[in-house]
């Protein structure tokens, strides 16, 4: 496991997304869940990604492209998504390299609470 969390907070992985991935804690905000999901993509943690996906939009399984490496995350903006909201959005840019070429994926993601926990619903 990485020492520094891949999500970009600068915190130790074990004290950041690692605590969510292991199930020791749950995300307090939509942004925290977004960051943990990005880290799960970096680490290819399909179980966590599926567990943190809304039941109505969750795929049956995930396949990871072995040529794709996530290299950085930028949070552009957030709406709602606090401990006091039932929904929220996180707009982000995720940087990657694929077969030696750099790129970026921009998305505005929708998050909601399901059974009291933040989950990813869909891209807007």
pLDDT at 42: 97
Residues of the chain above pLDDT 70, percent: 100
Residue 5 DSSP SS3: coil
Residues in the chain where the model's pLDDT stays below 70: none
Q: Any idea where the domains of the chain sit in the sequence? A: 13-123
- Topology adopted by domain 13-123: Nuclear Transport Factor 2; Chain: A, (3.10.450)
pLDDT at 78: 97
DSSP letters, 18-65, are HHHHTTSS--SSHHHHHHHHHHHHHHT-HHHHHHTB-TTT--S-----
pLDDT at 10: 95
């Amino acid at each position: 496991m990485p020492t520094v969390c891949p999500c970009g907070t600068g915190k130790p992985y074990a004290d950041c997304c690692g605590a969510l991935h292991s199930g020791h804690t749950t995300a307090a905000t939509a942004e925290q869940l977004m960051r943990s999901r990005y880290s799960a993509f970096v680490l290819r943690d399909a179980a966590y990604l599926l567990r943190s996906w809304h039941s109505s939009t969750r795929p049956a399984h995930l396949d990871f492209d072995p040529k794709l490496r996530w290299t950085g995350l930028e949070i552009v903006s957030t709406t709602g998504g606090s401990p006091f909201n039932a929904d929220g959005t996180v707009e982000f840019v995720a940087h990657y390299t694929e077969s030696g070429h750099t790129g970026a994926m921009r998305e505005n993601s929708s998050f909601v609470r399901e059974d009291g926990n933040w989950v990813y619903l869909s891209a807007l």
